[in-house]
Each structure stands twice: as structure tokens, then as C-alpha cells.
Amino acid sequence: MKLGVLFSGRGTNLGALIEACKDEDYPAEIAIAISNNPDAEGIAIAEAAGVRVQVINHKEFEDRDTFDAALDATLRDAGVELVCNAGFMRILTSGFVSHWHNRQLNIHPSLLPAFKGLHVHDRVLESGVRLTGATVHFVRDEMDEGPIVAQVAVPVEPDDTVETLTARVLVAEHKIYPMAIRLVADGKARVQGERVVIQGMTESEAGPLYVPALD
């Protein structure tokens, strides 16, 4: 499956997907990586890996519709089958989302539906929750909404700062995004209604996770 990866900043999830695609058994490849930010650090990551990368600067367009049209055309010209938002800091128009319905994924650094939007880790620490994590979901019109493919839980430590929590969640993101894309590319994760059904998924044998751990 040909992927189009959209990013705006450091490109750490882009890097994780590049590494995953090096495996000959991985059922996807990155056809193009696109950034709306000409100064994004992820551009160098893509170039170093020999991945085709293109900058489509949103500031050069008069409105969201024209920007999204250019984005859409570039993805289609590259033969993209699945769009993967990887730290892409733009709200996409309904037309774009509709065109890529059930063919666009996003990764968000929380256990959705909790903590949608920006400044997630700050709000997690302020709230006092014991668990946070990351979620991969299909994109819908509403921000951080859509059928969930996969989630991973990450403990919040008593002495966490935004920086330490961000780093711990990122490690989990870099594992779960390639896994979720594999499920979609293999045809094992399918949207039915507004839920994702995963072929061959069995009930977890791990049991409940307690934080703090019970004696």
C-alpha cells in the first residue's frame, strides 16, 4: 500500500514509518512525504532516507480550500492509497476529508476521546490522571474524531514534566503507528459503521492494568 505522510515539524513519527517500511515483509511503502512547513526538521529525515519529500507551504495559498486542493492533487499524482497524518498541524477541509474517507489516519498523543486538541501533555499533568497514551484513528471532520484502530496506554509518573511525558508517549507512538498501518494495509482493520473491526483480534489475556500497581 502506498502511503502519503503529512507532517509539520520534527518528523519523529515519519522516521518511525520510514524504519518500519525498510522491513521487506511490511505491507506498505512511503510514496511521498509532504510538509506544509518549509522549515520542518522532518524534511531532512525524509531526504536522508531517500524518501520523496515535497513542501506545500500553506502560507502561499489564499485559503484552506486551495491549499487542500494542491495537497490532494499531489497525493493523487503520487499514487497514494492511504494518507497518514504524522504531526500535521493543519485542520483539513470537509472536502479533503470526504475524498479520503476511511483512507486517512491520524495519530494523537492521548487516549481518545480524552484530551483532544493541542497542549495535550500539559492538560494531562494538570488533570492528575494516572494513565495517558496514544491513539491511531481514521480521520473525520471533527478534530481528533473518528473510528479508532489502535491505542496504547502509558503511565503518568508522579515526577513527570511535560518533557518527560512527551518523550515516553513518543516511544509508544513510534510503535503503535506502524502497527496500525500494518493492520490497515493487510486488510485486517476495517471500518464498519463508525467502529473499526480487526480480523483475528482476540480478547486480551493481559488482564486489567492498575496504576499504581496493587499489592
In this structure, is residue 100 part of a structural domain?
yes
**pLDDT given at position 211:** 82
Amino acid at 2: K
In this structure, is residue 204 part of a structural domain?
no
Number of separate domains in the chain: 1
Query: In CATH, what number is assigned to the domain containing residue 112?
Result: 3.40.50.170
User: Which is the catalytic residue, given 99, 108, 137, 174?
Assistant: 108
In this structure, is residue 210 part of a structural domain?
no
In this structure, is residue 205 part of a structural domain?
no
Counting every residue written for the chain, the total comes to 215
**CB-neighbour burial class of residue 145 (10 A; exposed 0-12, middle 13-18, buried 19+):** middle
**pLDDT given at position 208:** 80
Range of the domain at 19: 2-198
In this structure, is residue 158 part of a structural domain?
yes
Sign of the Cα torsion 130, 148, 49, 7 reads negative
In this structure, is residue 206 part of a structural domain?
no
The answer to whether 178 and 171 are in contact (CB under 8 A) is no
CA dist 154 and 110 (Å) reads 9
Active-site residue, 174 included: no
In this structure, is residue 118 part of a structural domain?
yes
In this structure, is residue 122 part of a structural domain?
yes
The answer to whether 165 and 156 are in contact (CB under 8 A) is yes
User: What does residue 194 show for φ and ψ, rounded to 5 degrees?
Assistant: -120, 30
- Which helix (H) or strand (E) covers residue 6, if one does? strand 2-7
**pLDDT given at position 214:** 73
**What pairs with residue 34 in β-bridges?**
6, 54
User: What does residue 152 show for φ and ψ, rounded to 5 degrees?
Assistant: -135, 135
**Cis amide bond preceding 38, omega within 30:** no
From first to last of its 215 residues, what are the pLDDT tens digits of the chain? 999 999 999 999 999 999 999 999 999 999 999 999 999 999 999 999 999 999 999 999 999 999 999 999 999 999 999 999 999 999 999 999 999 999 999 999 999 999 999 999 999 999 999 999 999 999 999 999 999 999 999 999 999 999 999 999 999 999 999 999 999 999 999 999 999 999 987 766 667 878 887 76
